[in-house]
Amino acid sequence: MPEGPSVRKFHHLVSPFVGQQVVKTGGSSKKLNPTSFQSLWLQDTQVHGKKLFLRFDPDEETVSLGNSPLSEPLRKGEQKDKARHHQEASDQSSRSPGGDSAVPSGDDGLQCLAGDSPAGGAERWLQVRFGLFGSIWVNEFSRAKKANKRGDWRDPIPRLVLHFSGSGFLAFYNCQMTWRISSPVFSPASDILSEKFHRGQALEALGREQPVCYTLLDQRYFSGLGNIIKNEALFRAGIHPLSPGSLLGLPRLEALVDHVAAFSADWLLGKFQGTQQHTQIYQKEQCPSGHPVVREALGPPGGFQRLTWWCPQCQPRLSAGEPKQVQPS
What is the C-alpha to C-alpha distance for residues 318 and 248, in angstroms, rounded to an integer? 9
281, 293 Cβ separation under 8 angstroms:
yes
Q: What are phi and psi of 22, to 5 degrees?
A: -75, 120
Q: For residue 284, indicate whether it is catalytic.
A: no
Which is it for the CA torsion 41, 43, 48, 49, positive or negative? positive
Of 2, 97, 158, 184, catalytic: 2
Both ends of the chain: CA-CA distance in Å? 37
143 catalytic residue (yes or no): no
Instruction: Tell me if residue 3 is catalytic.
Output: yes
Does residue 296 carry a catalytic annotation? no
Catalytic residue among 50, 51, 129, 180: 50
At a CB cut-off of 8 Å and minimum separation 6, what does 305 contact? 297, 298, 299
Instruction: Note whether 143 and 155 are within 8 A (CB).
Output: yes
Spatial distance between the Cα atoms of 64 and 83, rounded to a whole number of angstroms: 9
Query: Which residues are annotated as catalytic?
Result: 2-3, 50, 306
